[in-house]
Structure 1
Amino acid sequence: MPWGEFKDTAAERRLFQRRAMVMLVFVFLLLLVLVARMYQLQVVEHDIYTTLSDKNRVQVQSVPPPRGLVYDRNHVLLAENRPVFSVTVVPERVGDIDHALEQLVGILDVSDEDLERFQRRLREPRRPFQEIPLRYDLTEDEIARLAVHRHELPGVEVEAELVRYYPHSELTAHALGFVGRINRDELQRIDPVNYAGTNYIGKSGVERFYEELLHGKVGYQHVETNARGRTLRVLERENPVPGEDLQLHIDLRLQSRAHELLDGRRGAIVAIEPETGGILALASVPGFDANKFVTGISVPDYRDLSESKDKPLFNRALRGQYAPASTIKPMLGIAALDSGAVTRDLSIWDPGYFQINSKGRRWRDWKRGGHGWVDLTHAMAQSCDVYYYEAAIEMGIDTMVDYLSRFGFGEDATLDVAGALSGILPSPDWKRATHSQPWYPGDTVNLGIGQGFMLATPLQLATATALIANRGEWVEPRLLKDIQGDRSAEEFLPAETHEPLQLKDPSDWEFITDAMAEVMHGSKGTARASGRGASYRMAGKTGTAQVFSLAEDEEYDAEEIKERLRDHALFVGFAPTEKPQIAVAVIVENGGGGSGTAAPVARALFDAWLLELSSSGSGSLVSKADLQNEVP
């Protein structure tokens, strides 16, 4: 018998079978796990993974609404939208953003400002997969070059968008304002849902005040994209709601005439329709091209505007605060009559100066030898300062402030004019708070001729003049005339807050109106040259505001004074005196006397509105018969 053990084949078979069974069980368990996992993915979590899968190929894109258009009172387009092609970048799809920017700079003319603005937008909070504009207003050649390199630039697209355009930009920039790119501060206060996809927002003027109406409501669309993120087709779309179209009271023809009349000078003109309060013209000269601000003004262009000594960006009509000078005398005449400080027949002696007491300071009259005996009518027509010095002392500061505030001075009395300043209506409390000084009688004397601490804007002067034209009935100035849709303009205008200015004797309105008419038509009126030959009767008041103070015995010599230190020329007035159709305020900075500079501008504006525009459009409602009946 050989040494060793015999092979036990039966035992080996059983061992193999046991091992095979274990492996089969293991494999079966793995299959069960795999089936269970597949069941979970395909059945239990089907909706989740379907959504994730769709997100890889289907994107939800916001569709910005077209901004509402703006028209003038005759339906002339003032603000429209034009298509502009821009190159946009989606950082999440680009990969290496720095390399992509290098390529784009090599293909397009991308300025340092464009790159800086892009980097700033890249750092700001934004929605995922939101495109960021890099360059605007691409030319056809630039679009073609981008198309050639399109396969090398995933996440880079040429987008067409509607961008605000102002066809009459120089004329309407200060009245309409402009839109611009949404900045970080604005992102914090706007509705992120409704502004999804919107790049522009109203920055000033009508564009800002009526932003809610003009913007509209955002829409959405589901689009299918390829692996590179390029849109293949639109699967579903919810259209945006366009912004409302607005019609303003402004008449572009009158606005253009106002700019022509001020061309080459610095100044402002505000024209109001007394019956409605509608602002017919709001001109600030010089102006600027608002279109440059829409997609982002260049640094050199902005530097030229901001550093110009003529200050074209400054809205003189709304924010220019000037001493009203003698243009305030009609309002003070009403105050003096109604308070009993003077009577219609009261005459005073004007020797050419005024003294509170015999040993006190002398306040001069503009006419060095004085006007002699003058009553209120002659004091208005000849702009006698001494008469108003006396009236101011008789009234006292509290009475003057009370009446002037009821004319809208010292406040923003408008309904929808964004950015208007309130001016300064000085009082003892105001002086104590701002200058830590008491109120002196001399301050009252200065206020009597609209000098001293008082400041008013051209819009405030036009508003106060319109109140006289309306014989005390308040109609707050407004720009919005109508909404071109089903909605009413009144629901978007603030409620009126001013009570009518009721006088003890309502006929005082007519008396002051007649006195203002003497300024234009009287033989000694300061603006009689401007009123000569008119086929209608107009009421007005000239003013000359000092830019710097003269010594007590110093004479004013315009020829020896630097141009920008010369007096400002002012004028306020309305026409016709019966059924007034237009009230204006004019200021020509450093223009000298109001009678020689500002009054002719106002006369030309009156003629344009009452005679020229009324026969060729919907300007004035006054008939030629009414005008002829007004001839003095």
Structure 2
Amino acid sequence: MTEFRSPEAELAAFRRRLLVAALFVTVCFGLLAARFYYLQVVRFDYFHARAEGNRIAVLPVVPNRGVIVDRNGTLLARNYSVLTLEINPARVRNLDATIDALGEIVTIEERDRRRFRRLLLETKYFESVPIRTHLTDEEVARIAVRLYRFPGVEVQARLFRDYPEGASTAHVVGYIGRINERDQQRIEERGETANYRGSEYIGKSGLELSYQRELHGTTGIEQVEINAGGRAVRLMSRTPAIPGNDLQLTLDIGLQQAAEAALGNRRGAVVAIEPATGGVLALASTPSFDPNLFIDGISVAEWRALSDSPEHPLLNRALYSAYPPGSTYKPFIALLGLESGKRQIEQRFNNQGLFTFVGQRYVDRKSRCQHNVDLHGTIVHSCNTYYYQLAHDLGIQAIADFMGQFGFGQRTGIDVPGEATGVLPSPAWKRSRFSSREQQQWYGGETISVGIGQGYNAFTPIQLANGLATLLNGGNLFRPHVVSHIVDSVTGERRLVEPEPIARIPLNPRHVDAIRQAMADVTVTGTAVQAFRDAPYTSGGKTGTAQVFSLRGQRYDADKIPEHLRDHAWYIGFAPAENPTIALAVLVENGGFGGQSAAPVARQVFDYYLLGAPVEAPAQEGDPLLAEELER
């Protein structure tokens, strides 16, 4: 039997289905509209920025690094343009094949490939990366006629750093190198990440490091429209970079090179300072190295040659190496004797050149140190027994307190990094230095060794030069500085680096004059007479010979001692004697007697500074017995 459906029921069901479908469509369109509203209105700023970021690339404009010149305007660090072969990875299908093909046209070494891969990871996809730098004209010509074969390959001009004076400025000016992870971390900690975008180099040592912020400049910005392939289409806006500031130094590169020439192939250092300002005239350390090797990454072989050298050319002996000062310490001890009242200028002694301490006899063989000796004569002829007794009378704590005022045993604060503290011994220092109670105890025999610049004393050449400058100017202790002016590279405005006085030592001018006069006579009748004979100017100084190891009563014979155990030769001096404009400290490592090895270096430095005289090769050694008689 056939069942008939009710038309009214079917119509009602159809209407229900139609209503559900309508509601479903309405909800879907509502959700779609809501999503459109969310994307187009609520998140408009976000997605607009994303879209612009895909369309517009913000590229950094690296500023030109400031140049460095000496006091006379001689360039010590400059920028120069070189042609580089670069690859834009966004426009190259097969990088390895392209590099191999380019290697058939110009030389591309494995180190170039390693550097390229490293830079590729650090560079945005649409920026070009150098595969070869310092192209010759011939190489540029060979590439130019074949560039049509290499889409994405181009020859560009880039600025590189150069140090025209080479090794002469390595320890002062320093050098730059590629930014590594440690540098990047320091940049982030200082909140300077934005200013180093695009920068590949940063100061690694010397003034390049300590004045990095001044030299670097301010990074600019370019907004470039790019296509879907990452290729630049047009420049939309540009904020130019601000070049770094230039540095003018107190350093005289001619004097610096004169000091190096006077030292010759010997290990040593020369530090020269203006007593009135603390400005450094020379900061020489030999041997040295070529800082240009480090700019684009030093090779393994070159690094090993420097780091493994027994001469240690990477060591800045002027600032970092500390040595016993020997008899160059005596003028300061003598000044303390006068200031403390333990000695008088005219006071004379007839000690027969003998000092006895707990049964130990110390004899001074020099005849002029044995009878009727006054303070003046003890400096001129370097009498040891006088200073044994004086140090014993003063006591170690008084010596440490007084010498600390001159900056001994502490960093001078010079604006070149890498300075050592040295050692100014005292009971407190010894307690902090040693662990056992017996070692921590201070003994009287140690005090008398300190009095002649031996024992635990260990000072750097910069400390001795600055201490002498402080004595000469009457007690004004300055912070030594190498930079005299910071020059705005855009406006040319010069900002003076003011001399910075650290302390004022209250000294009796009469006592200072007595010490200066005695040091002046050192070059006339004393231990430096050989070096300064017939000098057309007046000067003063003090020789010093610092033992590397104890002779234990035996006679010093350099020929029988290994070279690295021979005495260090010192000389501190100033010129002209009546109005000093230069104070210096000369160290010749393992050079023997100060009057024989170090004083002639000072003479040549003074000759150049005062007379403009050329520097000759180091003089042949004189009579060692005569040198010993004068020095010891």
Note closer, same or farther for the CA distance 1:133–1:460 as it changes in structure 2 (3 Å cut): farther
C-alpha deviations, 1:286-306, integer Å up to 9, x for none?
111001111111110011011
In structure 1, how many angstroms separate the alpha carbons of the residues matched to 2:145 and 2:225? Answer: 21
2:393 aligned counterpart, secondary structure: helix
Note closer, same or farther for the CA distance 1:243–1:267 as it changes in structure 2 (3 Å cut): same
In structure 1, how many angstroms separate the alpha carbons of the residues matched to 2:368 and 2:472? Answer: 33
Quick check: 1:501 aligned with 2:499?
Answer: no
Note closer, same or farther for the CA distance 1:142–1:306 as it changes in structure 2 (3 Å cut): farther
2:64 aligned counterpart, secondary structure: coil
Quick check: 1:575 aligned with 2:554?
Answer: no
C-alpha deviations, 1:557-609, integer Å up to 9, x for none?
01222222221111001111222110010011121111111111111111211
In structure 2, how many angstroms separate the alpha carbons of the residues matched to 1:32 and 1:347? Answer: 112
Q: Which residue of 2 aligns with 1:260?
A: 261
AA in 2 matched with 1:107? L
1:311 aligned counterpart, secondary structure: coil
1:478 aligned counterpart, secondary structure: coil
Alignment of 1:266-281 (within 5 A): 266-281=267-282
Q: Which residue of 2 aligns with 1:596?
A: 596
Note closer, same or farther for the CA distance 1:391–1:162 as it changes in structure 2 (3 Å cut): same
C-alpha contact (below 8 Å) 1:87/1:135 kept by paired residues: yes
Counterpart of 1:468 (choices 465, 471, 474) is: 471
In structure 1, how many angstroms separate the alpha carbons of the residues matched to 2:591 and 2:34? Answer: 91
Cα shift at 1:137? 2.0
Note closer, same or farther for the CA distance 1:258–1:583 as it changes in structure 2 (3 Å cut): same
Alignment of 1:48-63 (within 5 A): 51-63=49-61
AA in 1 matched with 2:511? D
2:521 aligned counterpart, secondary structure: helix
Q: Which residue of 1 aligns with 2:76?
A: 78
Report the more deviating stretch, 401-410 or 28-37: 28-37
In structure 2, how many angstroms separate the alpha carbons of the residues matched to 1:85 and 1:343? Answer: 71
C-alpha contact (below 8 Å) 1:318/1:420 kept by paired residues: yes
In structure 2, how many angstroms separate the alpha carbons of the residues matched to 1:159 and 1:353? Answer: 77
Report the more deviating stretch, 182-191 or 364-373: 364-373
Percent of pairs with identical residues: 43
Cα shift at 1:151? 6.7
Note closer, same or farther for the CA distance 1:147–1:450 as it changes in structure 2 (3 Å cut): farther
Q: Which residue of 1 aligns with 2:546?
A: 545
C-alpha deviations, 1:33-76, integer Å up to 9, x for none?
99999999889987766655544443110011111111111111
In structure 2, how many angstroms separate the alpha carbons of the residues matched to 1:43 and 1:454? Answer: 76
In structure 1, how many angstroms separate the alpha carbons of the residues matched to 2:474 and 2:126? Answer: 58
Report the more deviating stretch, 43-52 or 589-598: 43-52
Report the more deviating stretch, 50-59 or 302-311: 50-59
Note closer, same or farther for the CA distance 1:333–1:605 as it changes in structure 2 (3 Å cut): same
For structure 2, which runs of at least 5 residues remain unmatched after alignment? 1-19, 615-632
Cα shift at 1:218? 0.6
C-alpha deviations, 1:89-121, integer Å up to 9, x for none?
677x4898xx62464255344544445555556
Quick check: 1:287 aligned with 2:252?
Answer: no
Report the more deviating stretch, 426-435 or 156-165: 156-165
Q: Which residue of 1 aligns with 2:389?
A: 390
TM-score by length of 1: 0.84
Cα shift at 1:280? 0.5
C-alpha contact (below 8 Å) 2:353/2:370 kept by paired residues: yes
C-alpha contact (below 8 Å) 1:115/1:134 kept by paired residues: no
Note closer, same or farther for the CA distance 1:543–1:25 as it changes in structure 2 (3 Å cut): closer
Q: Which residue of 2 aligns with 1:9?
A: none
C-alpha contact (below 8 Å) 2:377/2:518 kept by paired residues: yes
In structure 1, how many angstroms separate the alpha carbons of the residues matched to 2:576 and 2:539? Answer: 5
Alignment of 1:360-399 (within 5 A): 360-365=359-364, 367=366, 371-399=370-398
In structure 2, how many angstroms separate the alpha carbons of the residues matched to 1:130 and 1:261? Answer: 54
C-alpha contact (below 8 Å) 1:588/1:598 kept by paired residues: yes
C-alpha contact (below 8 Å) 1:366/1:385 kept by paired residues: no
Q: Which residue of 1 aligns with 2:347?
A: 346
1:176 aligned counterpart, secondary structure: coil
C-alpha contact (below 8 Å) 1:351/1:369 kept by paired residues: no
Note closer, same or farther for the CA distance 1:245–1:466 as it changes in structure 2 (3 Å cut): same
C-alpha deviations, 1:534-557, integer Å up to 9, x for none?
2322110000111222112x1110
AA in 1 matched with 2:275? P
Q: Which residue of 2 aligns with 1:622?
A: none
Counterpart of 1:446 (choices 446, 449, 453) is: 449
Q: Which residue of 1 aligns with 2:164?
A: 167
Counterpart of 2:133 (choices 134, 137, 143) is: 137
AA in 2 matched with 1:462? A
RMSD: 3.8
1:475 aligned counterpart, secondary structure: strand
C-alpha contact (below 8 Å) 2:476/2:501 kept by paired residues: no
Q: Which residue of 2 aligns with 1:5?
A: none
Aligned residue pairs total 590
In structure 2, how many angstroms separate the alpha carbons of the residues matched to 1:144 and 1:29? Answer: 69
In structure 1, how many angstroms separate the alpha carbons of the residues matched to 2:354 and 2:542? Answer: 21
C-alpha contact (below 8 Å) 1:325/1:544 kept by paired residues: yes
C-alpha contact (below 8 Å) 1:415/1:477 kept by paired residues: yes
C-alpha deviations, 1:464-485, integer Å up to 9, x for none?
1111221212222111101123
In structure 2, how many angstroms separate the alpha carbons of the residues matched to 1:222 and 1:610? Answer: 57
In structure 2, how many angstroms separate the alpha carbons of the residues matched to 1:232 and 1:150? Answer: 20
Note closer, same or farther for the CA distance 1:121–1:424 as it changes in structure 2 (3 Å cut): farther
Cα shift at 1:531? 2.4
AA in 2 matched with 1:518? D
AA in 1 matched with 2:317? R
In structure 1, how many angstroms separate the alpha carbons of the residues matched to 2:23 and 2:146? Answer: 60
C-alpha contact (below 8 Å) 1:469/1:577 kept by paired residues: no
Cα shift at 1:517? 0.8
Q: Which residue of 1 aligns with 2:528?
A: 527
AA in 2 matched with 1:270? V
Report the more deviating stretch, 585-594 or 100-109: 100-109
Note closer, same or farther for the CA distance 1:106–1:431 as it changes in structure 2 (3 Å cut): farther
AA in 1 matched with 2:177? G
1:186 aligned counterpart, secondary structure: helix
Cα shift at 1:530? 2.2
Note closer, same or farther for the CA distance 1:87–1:23 as it changes in structure 2 (3 Å cut): farther
Note closer, same or farther for the CA distance 1:571–1:382 as it changes in structure 2 (3 Å cut): same
In structure 2, how many angstroms separate the alpha carbons of the residues matched to 1:356 and 1:64? Answer: 68
Q: Which residue of 1 aligns with 2:178?
A: 181
C-alpha deviations, 1:497-541, integer Å up to 9, x for none?
32x1112x321000000010110112xx00012222223221100
C-alpha deviations, 1:305-350, integer Å up to 9, x for none?
1111111110000111111001111111111110122211222345
Alignment of 1:12-411 (within 5 A): 51-86=49-84, 93=90, 100-101=95-96, 103-105=98-100, 107-108=102-103, 109-117=107-115, 129=125, 135-140=131-136, 141=139, 145=143, 148=146, 160-190=157-187, 191-357=192-358, 360-365=359-364, 367=366, 371-411=370-410
Report the more deviating stretch, 30-39 or 536-545: 30-39
In structure 2, how many angstroms separate the alpha carbons of the residues matched to 1:52 and 1:473? Answer: 62
In structure 2, how many angstroms separate the alpha carbons of the residues matched to 1:385 and 1:519? Answer: 15
Report the more deviating stretch, 554-563 or 276-285: 554-563
Cα shift at 1:188? 1.1
1:177 aligned counterpart, secondary structure: coil
C-alpha deviations, 1:173-218, integer Å up to 9, x for none?
1111111111111111211101111111111111111111111111
AA in 2 matched with 1:529? Q
